[in-house]
Amino acid sequence: MLPELADLLSTSRVVSLPMTTRFRGITVREAVLFEGPEGWTEFSPFVEYDDTEAAAWLHAAIDFGWRATLPPLRDRIPVNATIPAVEAEQVASILARYPGARTAKVKVAEPGQTLADDVARVHAVRDALGPEGRIRVDANALWNLDEAEHAVHALAPFDLEYVEQPCATVDELAELRRRIRYMGIPVAADESVRKAADPLAVARAGAADVLVVKAQPLGGVHSASRIVAAAGLPAVVSSAIDTSVGIAMGAHLAAALPELEFDCGLGTVAMFVQDVADEPLLPHDGAIPVARPTVSSARLDALGADEDRTAWWLDRVRRCYRLVERSRAL
């Protein structure tokens, strides 16, 4: 059942979390937390997303807070380190925030940077992880087809686990996958799943070897697990720079998947200066537990957003709730 809007708003807390490094163009991450019958849950679509896209994130928050989650098949989730588009000299200090991680996801194709910057960053990660470490790169759909092919060749000497969302369209991904198949480097789809009207189109087109799935954009743990099952491809569960509450949602999704071949992108609480949980879901020995964190009232007070930002987010909750309510009625 859909909770009443008043029930959502009665427990809502808007928080503003400072980040250790600029990532995705931001240095502060804002989120709304609600406390439902199942525990704390999170609504944190990026500020530039319109209400239609953000409504799926609210559906996910309701799903995690008001509905029993899927039975877990594992109690710990191996996670990757996340390396923003930083100078190569900063790589080692960022990796140190992810103790025991054997895998690193490296951001590439940053606007204003060059392929040489990407090569230097990935080279530094390989030096830090050693030959047995796993490296995946994420271009966030910012290369065109030819740029992507050129970049994959330039980065191939560092033994890539896969290249994530190198191009924007399903057709481009399919063609790139055809061009680089002989290199043995898989293509992973992220935006082509979570931002698509049809998240299964990329699988049907044979345009990806791996799906990157995020619980909030896909409408919650139950919805995302159905998409993974229907796609029939290996899945990596990742975060959207969530607080520990949102990370717990992703961890419960990862715990419920029958197969978990790849380390997951759920170690990103390490990117925050402070977190809302008494015991943040930070990686230890390369993994995080499958658990709902205890949220501290004192931390919520300390990290509370100002009055204007709180009003902005709660208005957004009201608008998105109407869209969720309408979709349930169809």
Per the annotation, where are the binding residues for Mg(2+)? 138, 164, 190
For residue 210, what is the enclosing H or E element? Answer: strand 210-213
Pairs from 68-72 (Cβ < 8 Å, separation ≥ 24)? 68/38, 69/38, 69/221, 69/252, 69/256, 70/221, 70/222, 70/225, 70/252, 70/253, 70/255, 70/256, 71/256, 72/252, 72/255, 72/256, 72/290
132: tokens are 């047995």
How many Cα atoms sit within 13 Å of 105 on the Cβ side? 24
Phi/psi class of residue 24: alpha, beta or left (left: φ > 0; alpha: ψ in -120 to 50)? left
Q: How far apart are CA 148 and CA 184, in angstroms?
A: 15
197: tokens are 């009207």
- Runs of H (alpha helix) within 45-90: 51-66
195 is catalytic: no
Phi and psi angles of residue 312, each rounded to the nearest 5 degrees, phi first: -60, -45
Q: One of 13, 59, 105, 107 is an active-site residue; which one? A: 107
Residues sharing a CB contact under 8 Å with residue 288, sequence separation 6 or more, in sequence order: 76, 77, 79, 247, 251, 266, 267, 281, 282
Q: How far apart are CA 212 and CA 195, in angstroms?
A: 12
How many other CB atoms are found less than 10 A from the CB of residue 229? 11
Q: Look up tokens 């200066």; give the residue.
A: 273
Q: One of 105, 214, 292, 299 is an active-site residue; which one? A: 214
107 is catalytic: yes
Give whole-number Cα distances, 240 to 22, 161, 271, in Å: 14, 21, 12
Q: How far apart are CA 8 and CA 32, in angstroms?
A: 10
263: tokens are 């380390």
Q: Which residues are catalytic?
A: 107, 214
